[in-house]
Structure 1
């Protein structure tokens, strides 16, 4: 399940960057990419919940990582909505970068992640 989760959030990040660039250029297909991105939000959340469910003893850091992961998704939506409305996306981008760094750090730090730290 770990590989499915990693694959889903990796694809989610790529789709997010594609959606932002297509939205900025005014491409008509940007809405399709955003719908596929939202499908990957759901896949990522489900695989994350399955990973949480598979852990015998869940520490607080796992819950913090789950909340940070939801924060990443929320920040992605903030960027996309602000871009569509023509407003400044700086707050969304800042939140996205911070949330992504926190989530990746916790994911690599915790025992289910890779052994980098």
Structure 2
């Protein structure tokens, strides 16, 4: 399930880049389609993340914090796209997204047991 979760995060970030590129170039229909696919990817992220949470819930507060940070990442991605569609400033949301992704990567790969460090 870990591989599915990592794949779905990478897919979400790639789709975010795609939606952002379409919105910057003014292609609204492909942006809307890509945004809907991104929203479907959120379901995959939540499913695989929920399964990982159930598997590692005995590891203490780091798992709960990782869950909350993961939800923060999804919310930041969605707000970047929605604000960009409306033509509003997205600088603060990009900053939040960067911080939350780095924090989620740190918690997932360093602090939790299935990370890259022993």
Scaled by the length of structure 1, the TM-score of the pair is 0.94
Q: Is the 8 A contact 2:56 2:63 kept in 1?
A: no
> Where does the alignment leave 5 or more consecutive residues of structure 1 unmatched?
none
Tell whether 2:63 aligns with 1:66: no
Alignment of 1:1-117 (within 5 A): 1-27=1-27, 28-55=29-56, 57-109=58-110, 110-115=112-117
The alpha-carbon distance between structure 1 residues 56 and 68, as it changes in their structure 2 partners (threshold 3 A), is closer
The alpha-carbon distance between structure 1 residues 56 and 88, as it changes in their structure 2 partners (threshold 3 A), is closer
> Where does the alignment leave 5 or more consecutive residues of structure 2 unmatched?
none
Q: Is the 8 A contact 1:52 1:58 kept in 2?
A: no
| Structural RMSD (CA) | 1.2
Scaled by the length of structure 2, the TM-score of the pair is 0.93
The alpha-carbon distance between structure 1 residues 59 and 23, as it changes in their structure 2 partners (threshold 3 A), is same
Which structure is higher in helix share?
2
